Structure 1
Amino acid sequence: MLELPGFGEPAEGEDDSQKKVVKPSKKSGGFQSMGLSFTVLKGITKRGYKIPTPIQRKTIPIALESRDVVAMARTGSGKTACFLIPLFEKLKLRSAKAGARALILSPTRELALQTLKFIKELGRFTDLKSAVILGGDSMESQFSVIHGNPDILVATPGRFLHVCIEMDLKLSSIEYVVFDEADRLFEMGFGEQLNNIVQRLPDVRQTLLFSATLPKVLVEFAKAGLDNPVLIRLDVESKLPSELELVFITVRPEEQVAALLVLLKSHIDLNQQTVVFAATKHHVEYLHMILDYSGITNTYIYSNLDPSARKIHAAKFRQKKASVLVVTDVAARGLDIPHLDNVINFNFPAKSKLFVHRVGRCARAGRSGTAYSLITPDEYPYLLDLHLFLGRPLSIINPGQDKGNVGRIPQSLLEEQHGTLLTLHENHIDLVSMRKVSENAYKQYVRSRPLASADSNRRIKELPFNNCGIHPVFKVKGEILEEERETFLGRMKDYRPQGTIFEICGKNKSQDYLTMKAKRAFHKDVIASHHNKLEQKKYENFNEEIKTELPESNIEDIKNTFDHIILPKKRKIDDLYKKKVKKQKIKDEENYIPYAASDRHTEEGLAINNFQREASKAQLDLTGDSTDTLRRSKQQMKWDRKKKKMVAVNPDPKAGKIKTESGAWIPATYKSNRYAEWKERTKITENANESDEEDGEIAKKETNRNRQIYTHWAKHNEKIKSKKLKSELKTTEQILKNRKIAEKKKMKQNKRLRRKKKN
């Protein structure tokens, strides 16, 4: 048995309620000082946790006081343990007849399965039963899971609400509710489902809400669904962990795949685990095929993949049977892959928050990691937006220097891998067709991609991305010739002839040549100053640092919602929302002429026939010129039998509907007959009656023992009574068994008759 400081071994026959509980110690900073029970602490130490993270140290004691909590921290800070440890303390023992007592809602399948795995590891000594309800799995199996009365339910909101509607679940036994990655839940459009689920929950409950950001929708949801919550903000220090190294590499679009192979083959150790993020599922399949043909063990995950296949591929990567996992943004949040070393952004994300969640998969819980980003020319503005969001300087590496964070890969390495790619495409026809599909998919992706800020698009033209040097991570000592070759190629790219086409191609005595010469001599000083400015900009780094603001929610909303706000030391809530005060423009009242008269409102009010007002009231209804518009106009008005008049109908087809996990829109009051059919097929009520009868027989036996019936005839009479009490209706199993016995008898009789006839 594992020995814990401050604990003795429990005596034999000792109940769980009699087991020791650690007394809180003010001096200790570990889990032992939180007053946790023996079984919970044993699970924590078996899992390998020794010292709680900052978010755990702040959140767990407040959650143990049964208070509602809204906690914010960066990805990989140990938020899952923050709500599981208080959950185990609150539930303590298994209750088979009470129903589900804890509900954890997750945005994705992978995060829900990971949470379930974490519950089994951390709470294996608590004897609590947990189950998962996900979209894509059979609903009948989920009915039987809920009938098994698990203590903890982990679910995705769409399928869970669908099951609640089908089974008429009241959720009255729920005591503990967790919204994991709450901002992601609202981003994915689960707002209606969450509000519907909250309405079904009991009023007396404890609610914990965990998020990486704090949008305004989340503040309003916390105000409506939580009771006097405590806000814990530990995301204000830095958005990315200090152990994470960021490497930005500029590439041309045609060399993007070659750059990925350079990273995986010659730079990253194959024993390390790497996640590659691509834009679409077609890119994922294309990269998977290339890596397979290149001899790199890999697997892949995307949204349209079969749920069982996704489960298998994720497990394959976790067990280190594959060194590379190629994914879309479906795995950008919530997945905790232990000891993940590297993240590669094959396609740079359009949103800065998405970049933070992507690279947050590695360098978790104090481990180190590296995030590589391949950036094509059309993604440069998004790179600038990211640095403005992070509040970090963007410094481009100059040729021959090592300072900076944006560089490129040596051309010799790219040419080598590009050659291997060409041979692969010549030998495998399927790669050529898949490349065309991925190129078309990228065109569609660019159309739907949000635009970068106009300021970034303007300022990116001033930065010398074309002249950036080799990134320090690719430099090897002694390669002076390679550097000279790169600088020479850079000069060739930057070469611009001194004269124009009229001066180079024209004759010396032609009119065009003489005119351009005279023009050049006239603007000699302007041309020289322009070239000097270009030279200065070429070797200047863009080191502008702009601190980010949180536009999602303001200080008034947060102060109105949360009475208690816990922040890191030496920080105040007012400091987070300091905004730059704009200079007020001074207006000269004497000389200022307004566009409209100051008394125009009174003049308009006194006017009898105002054309603008009359025209605004006028309405012209035209008949639709297509079948869709005609049908839409008919649907806008509907005859109401009760009111006996035409009533306007909401033209929005999604009004009063909810979105399931399969993407289908169903009415909020949707209920099919699937649960009733399942009950009829499985005879769940009869089985329940039988179990009740068995319980009754056991109880009778115990009473008989108490009566001390030892005589033969007394026991005989009790058996006869118990036989009479049994129901005369046979179950389906008994009927099938009797039929099989009857068929066997018939077969034997037929064989006997045949033998007699032969004889």
Structure 2
Amino acid sequence: MFAEFALHERLLKVLAELGFATPTPVQAAAIPLAMAGRDLRVTAQTGSGKTAAFLLPLLHYLIEHPDHRAGTRAVILLPTRELARQTQKTIEQLATYTFIKSELITGGEDFKVQAARMRRNPDILVGTPGRLLEHQDAGHLVLDDLVALVLDEADRMLDMGFKDDVLRLAQHCNANRQTLLFSATPGGEALTQVAAAVLRDPQELMLNSVRDAHERIQHQVITADDIGHKEALLRWLLDNEQYDKAIVFTNTREQADRLGGVLRTHLRKVFVLHGEKDQRLRKLALDRLRSGEIKVLVATDVAARGLDIDGLDLVINFEVPRSGDEYLHRVGRTGRLGNTGLAITLVAAHEWNLKASIERYLRQSFEQRLIEAHPGHYRGPKKLKASGKAAGSKKKKLKKAEAKKNETKRAGVKTAKGTSKPKAPKRAAAAPDTRDGYATPRKKPARPLD
């Protein structure tokens, strides 16, 4: 129960109204440590409740230690505008019965308007690293009074190239702040370097591995011959699967735009979401999906991180994601908070090895499915590479066949490719006649005269 954490009564009241009674594992592990002032490095699956795990301790501290003369007291960094907007919305919900104010600072909005909002000294700034650095360089961002810095989806921020921006912002922050670093994967060397630079004696929490299979998500694979076959399969799935809302993922912006146009020609109401879309259109797409006005969103991986949409129960990978982590972040949009979901990946011949590497990374095999209405011809590799004794035996057979082939060629025997005909052996010279004791050649009998 959240009441066991000794959270402020105003937070407990709003949690009760929102229907949150039992904390998730990551919340149960992180909230007490964060309330005690510890720096944290937390690794937990997408959809496990990480946002509330850092917001509740932060809001509790700001309620318990008000300082109306101070400037901004907390900064929350996120990799994408969508995730930042969602976090801002969560703050507004949890701070309903408090006087805590927060502002959203991301790209795609008027710079001067944002600067004016920052001059009001909001308690919390929620933003992306690039835009916050622009305000820092312009002298609008003062972080001397900061008590908390939160890096959410830190692994994704580094994947997107924000490492230097994050480190620069951290250098401008109050050195005595508390820092909370949350990520969905353990990350690589870059994340370890950032953690070492921004955290002080951190408590590390690894609640679950990103490779753990999501128990509430069914994973399926459908093989496809080509792009046209994939489009036919996609239309069939969207027409026949039972779902409230669906996201179709592509690897590139160009493919997302093209696929959105293909679906619209079949009288299907869809929106497309990727990094080059205008901010107004991106917000409109998500708002309409959340409201149920549209059921299908075509998106790139910009939407794979942090989006929490009620009723999203179908994810279709039109293209196989480039890594196991990206696969998990995509399918993690469904099967959240106790709900079930279905993840379907369309796999062409050139994507089979990538699909197989994802299965190895996740240590599980996906269910292979056939759509009878659009069966296609491709079913995966015909022969798998032999291993162990079978491979050794196969090599011996190949060597023996090669030796036999070479021997046949030397003998001049006609092969399948065609070689010269065998040459007739030379006749031996006639043996000398020795009947008279001398080695004289035998003469043919004379031909009688006519």
Question: Please, what TM-score do these two structures have when normalized by structure 1?
Answer: 0.49
1:288 deviation in Å? 1.9
Q: Deviations over 1:246-279 (max 9, x none)?
A: 010001113110000110112x13x510000012
The reply to whether residue 217 of structure 1 matches residue 190 of structure 2 is yes
Q: Deviations over 1:378-420 (max 9, x none)?
A: 00000110111011246xxxxxxxxxx123221x3469xxxxx
Q: Deviations over 1:604-624 (max 9, x none)?
A: xxxxxxxxxxxxxxxxxxxxx
Write the distance in 2 (CA, Å) between the matches of 1:36 and 1:274.
36
> Aligned AA for 2:233?
A
2:21: which partner in 1? 50
The reply to whether residue 188 of structure 1 matches residue 136 of structure 2 is no
CA contact (8 A) 1:239 1:356 kept: no
CA contact (8 A) 1:212 1:235 kept: no
CA contact (8 A) 2:81 2:128 kept: yes
1:334: which partner in 2? 306
1:356 deviation in Å? 0.9
1:64 deviation in Å? 0.6
Write the distance in 2 (CA, Å) between the matches of 1:37 and 1:393.
46
Write the distance in 1 (CA, Å) between the matches of 2:210 and 2:303.
25
Deviates more, 1:49-58 or 1:92-101: 92-101
Q: How does 1:213-252 map to 2 (within 5 A)?
A: 213-214=185-186, 215-236=188-209, 238-252=211-225
Pick aligned residue for 2:81 from 101, 109, 119: 109
1:122 deviation in Å? 1.6
The alignment partner of 2:312 has SS state of coil
The alignment partner of 1:207 has SS state of strand
Deviates more, 1:35-44 or 1:161-170: 161-170
| Higher helix proportion (structure 1 or 2) | 1
1:312: which partner in 2? 284
Write the distance in 2 (CA, Å) between the matches of 1:356 and 1:168.
38
CA contact (8 A) 1:362 1:368 kept: yes
Q: Runs of 4 or more off by more than 6 Å in structure 1?
A: none
Write the distance in 2 (CA, Å) between the matches of 1:518 and 1:379.
39
1:67: which partner in 2? 38
Q: Deviations over 1:322-352 (max 9, x none)?
A: 0001101111111111221010000111211
CA contact (8 A) 1:259 1:414 kept: no
* Cα distance change, pair 261–169 in 1 and its aligned pair in 2 (3 A): closer
CA contact (8 A) 1:298 1:323 kept: yes
* Cα distance change, pair 255–393 in 1 and its aligned pair in 2 (3 A): closer
* Cα distance change, pair 153–296 in 1 and its aligned pair in 2 (3 A): same
Q: How does 1:368-407 map to 2 (within 5 A)?
A: 368-393=340-365, 405-407=367-369
> Aligned AA for 1:388?
R
1:108 deviation in Å? 0.4
2:251: which partner in 1? 279
2:383: which partner in 1? 462
Unaligned runs of 5+ in 1: 1-29, 395-404, 416-458, 465-512, 520-759
* Cα distance change, pair 37–292 in 1 and its aligned pair in 2 (3 A): same
Write the distance in 2 (CA, Å) between the matches of 1:219 and 1:517.
60
> Aligned AA for 1:408?
L
1:216 deviation in Å? 2.0
> Aligned AA for 1:45?
A
> Aligned AA for 1:187?
D
The reply to whether residue 408 of structure 1 matches residue 370 of structure 2 is yes
Q: How does 1:211-610 map to 2 (within 5 A)?
A: 211-214=183-186, 215-236=188-209, 238-253=211-226, 254-266=228-240, 268-269=241-242, 272-393=244-365, 405-410=367-372, 412-413=373-374, 462-463=383-384
Write the distance in 1 (CA, Å) between the matches of 2:415 and 2:310.
71
Write the distance in 1 (CA, Å) between the matches of 2:10 and 2:283.
30
2:118: which partner in 1? 146
The alignment partner of 1:342 has SS state of strand
CA contact (8 A) 2:313 2:334 kept: yes
> Aligned AA for 2:323?
K
Q: Deviations over 1:430-477 (max 9, x none)?
A: xxxxxxxxxxxxxxxxxxxxxxxxxxxxx966349xxxxxxxxxxxxx
Write the distance in 1 (CA, Å) between the matches of 2:213 and 2:117.
40
The reply to whether residue 39 of structure 1 matches residue 10 of structure 2 is yes
Q: Deviations over 1:169-208 (max 9, x none)?
A: 4411110110000011111111111111111111111110
> Aligned AA for 2:30?
T
The alignment partner of 2:108 has SS state of coil
Write the distance in 1 (CA, Å) between the matches of 2:383 and 2:56.
52
CA contact (8 A) 1:258 1:414 kept: no
1:105 deviation in Å? 0.3
Q: How does 1:82-161 map to 2 (within 5 A)?
A: 82-92=53-63, 95-161=67-133
Write the distance in 1 (CA, Å) between the matches of 2:208 and 2:4.
25
The alignment partner of 1:173 has SS state of coil
| Higher strand proportion (structure 1 or 2) | 2
Q: Which has the higher contact order (CA 8 A, sep 6+)?
A: 2
Q: Deviations over 1:703-758 (max 9, x none)?
A: xxxxxxxxxxxxxxxxxxxxxxxxxxxxxxxxxxxxxxxxxxxxxxxxxxxxxxxx
Write the distance in 2 (CA, Å) between the matches of 1:242 and 1:113.
28
* Cα distance change, pair 461–389 in 1 and its aligned pair in 2 (3 A): farther
1:234 deviation in Å? 1.2
2:422: which partner in 1? none
* Cα distance change, pair 238–286 in 1 and its aligned pair in 2 (3 A): closer
Q: How does 1:614-693 map to 2 (within 5 A)?
A: none
Write the distance in 1 (CA, Å) between the matches of 2:177 and 2:144.
10
The alignment partner of 1:275 has SS state of strand
Write the distance in 2 (CA, Å) between the matches of 1:119 and 1:32.
19
1:78 deviation in Å? 0.4
Write the distance in 2 (CA, Å) between the matches of 1:251 and 1:112.
36
Percent of counterpart pairs with the same letter? Answer: 37
Write the distance in 1 (CA, Å) between the matches of 2:92 and 2:140.
28
> Aligned AA for 1:39?
R
Write the distance in 2 (CA, Å) between the matches of 1:275 and 1:188.
22
* Cα distance change, pair 372–237 in 1 and its aligned pair in 2 (3 A): closer
Instruction: Give RMSD over aligned pairs.
Output: 2.3
Unaligned runs of 5+ in 2: 386-412, 420-450
The alignment partner of 1:305 has SS state of coil
Write the distance in 2 (CA, Å) between the matches of 1:278 and 1:76.
21
The reply to whether residue 167 of structure 1 matches residue 139 of structure 2 is yes
Write the distance in 2 (CA, Å) between the matches of 1:105 and 1:126.
22
1:96 deviation in Å? 4.3
Write the distance in 1 (CA, Å) between the matches of 2:91 and 2:288.
21
2:431: which partner in 1? none
Write the distance in 2 (CA, Å) between the matches of 1:98 and 1:90.
14
Deviates more, 1:359-368 or 1:285-294: 285-294
Write the distance in 1 (CA, Å) between the matches of 2:269 and 2:140.
47
Q: Deviations over 1:558-604 (max 9, x none)?
A: xxxxxxxxxxxxxxxxxxxxxxxxxxxxxxxxxxxxxxxxxxxxxxx
CA contact (8 A) 1:180 1:209 kept: yes
Write the distance in 1 (CA, Å) between the matches of 2:370 and 2:224.
7
* Cα distance change, pair 378–413 in 1 and its aligned pair in 2 (3 A): closer
Write the distance in 1 (CA, Å) between the matches of 2:50 and 2:93.
16
Write the distance in 2 (CA, Å) between the matches of 1:168 and 1:289.
42
1:95 deviation in Å? 4.7
2:395: which partner in 1? none
